[in-house]
Amino acid sequence: MTNNQYFLVEHQLSLNVEGLAENECIPNDADFEAEIPAPFRMASDLAQIESHSLQPLKLNNETTQALWSYLQTQNLKINTLLTYVLSQQDDQRLHFQSDAFSASVCVFKCGDARFAVDQPVRLKIFIPEESAAIYCYALVTKVEQGLIELTYQQIREEDRELLIRTTLHIQSKQLKLRAQQRASL
């Protein structure tokens, strides 16, 4: 799948966008992996574990339903703590809100001329719906009427998968909300 084939969803996520200095460039794979801050790596790893570990549990009797409830409660506790830890990584000097995002691009508003086309940036994407955050590098691919489009250049594959799952969850919620609004008319 090419980058422009990923589904773009309109949704606000907190971002940190930091333009790289002229003497900086997007790191190679090994340097990038070594540079990822521990809370981002942990969040990504926990999101992967969560998406695969609870699916096989069969809910066919009272015991497994009680176990499921207990596991969900423990998961909520961990996610609450993880969300707090990740919020400490949000630098207010670099803070923006996305207008839309996908597994390949992110679009946000910026009122000043801080970013230019072809400028590499360090990007942090905070996803509270998934108790996760992504650390990656992107390139400014469009600057138009205060909207900045970033195309991810260096991102872990598991983080791209997390973005795909997130867009699908958000789209599902948006479609349910629209259906409820139509039904109430």
Structure confidence at residue 8 (pLDDT): 92
Structure confidence at residue 121 (pLDDT): 98
Which domains does the chain show, CATH number per domain?
A: 8-183 (2.40.10.220)
Q: Count helices and strands (H / E) in the chain.
A: 4, 7
Rounded Cα distance, 85 and 31, in Å: 24
Phi, psi of 133 (to 5 degrees): -150, 155
Q: What is the pTM of this model?
A: 0.84
Higher pLDDT pick, 45 / 154: 154
Residue with tokens 């390139």: 139
Average pLDDT over residues 153-176: 93
Confidence at 51, pLDDT banded by 50, 70, 90:
low
Rounded Cα distance, 43 and 72, in Å: 17
Could you report the per-residue pLDDT of 53-77, keeping only the tens digit for each? 655 665 667 777 777 778 778 878 8
DSSP state of 91: -
Rounded Cα distance, 33 and 70, in Å: 34
Confidence at 1, pLDDT banded by 50, 70, 90:
very low
CB 11 within 8 A of CB 101: yes
Q: What share of the chain is helix, strand, coil (3-state, %, to 5)?
A: 45, 25, 30
Confidence at 81, pLDDT banded by 50, 70, 90:
confident
Per-residue pLDDT at 2 exceeds 50:
no
Residue with tokens 């691009």: 105
Higher pLDDT pick, 179 / 138: 138
Could you report the per-residue pLDDT of 20-42, keeping only the tens digit for each? 999 999 999 999 999 999 999 88
CB 111 within 8 A of CB 35: no
Task: Provide the mean pLDDT of the chain.
Answer: 87
What is the token pair recorded at 105? 């691009």
Phi, psi of 94 (to 5 degrees): -110, 15
Could you give the percent of the chain with pLDDT greater than 70? 91
Could you report the per-residue pLDDT of 93-123, keeping only the tens digit for each? 999 999 999 999 999 999 887 899 999 999 9
* Cβ neighbours of residue 52 closer than 8 Å, sequence gap 6 or more: none
What is the token pair recorded at 82? 């993880």
